């Protein structure tokens, strides 16, 4: 099944959030697009456009996995530090993609931006 959303739409959602900038693709991390808020990475679209990576607190990620584990894969750095979730874009709705992008932004954005 093809992804429900592509780079153009993901970019539009991400760039509409405060102080987001698109960074260069991170080939070592298999990303064709990467987005940052206040210099901190919060979202990536992976090679092939079928999956995106989100930066989330472990508790929120575990709650999503408990509801529906199929579209999600945990991302760990060195098997010790929880980073977020890899999301299968063919397995969730556009509204869920939007919600995940916003959750990831809130997790990564400095407090001064979240109060606006």
- Give the domains, in start order, of the chain with CATH numbers: 7-114 (3.90.1150.30)
pLDDT tens per residue across span 37-76:
999 999 999 878 899 999 999 999 999 999 999 999 999 9
Residue 17: strand, helix, or coil: coil
Q: What is the mean pLDDT of the chain?
A: 90
Mean pLDDT to the nearest integer, 11-38: 87
54 CA to centre of own chain: 2
Q: Using pLDDT thresholds of 50, 70 and 90, give the confidence band for residue 28.
A: low
φ, ψ at 30 (rounded to 5°)? 65, 25
- pLDDT at residue number 112: 87
Token digits of residue 67: 């509801």
| pLDDT of residue 2 exceeding 80 | no
Q: Using pLDDT thresholds of 50, 70 and 90, give the confidence band for residue 116.
A: low
Nearest to 81 by CA among 63, 61, 66: 61
Nearest to 3 by CA among 37, 49, 63: 49
pTM comes to 0.90
- pLDDT at residue number 46: 86
């Amino acid at each position: 099944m093809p992804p429900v959303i592509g780079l153009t739409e993901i970019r539009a959602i991400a760039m509409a959030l405060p102080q987001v900038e698109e960074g260069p693709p991170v080939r070592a991390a298999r990303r064709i697009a990467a987005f940052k808020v206040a210099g901190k990475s919060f979202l990536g679209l992976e090679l092939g456009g079928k999956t995106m990576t989100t930066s989330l607190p472990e508790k929120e990620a575990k709650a999503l996995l408990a509801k529906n584990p199929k579209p999600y894969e945990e991302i760990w750095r060195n098997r010790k530090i929880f980073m977020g979730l890899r999301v299968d874009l063919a397995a969730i709705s556009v509204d869920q993609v939007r919600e995940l992008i916003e959750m990831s932004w809130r997790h990564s954005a400095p407090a001064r931006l979240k109060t606006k």
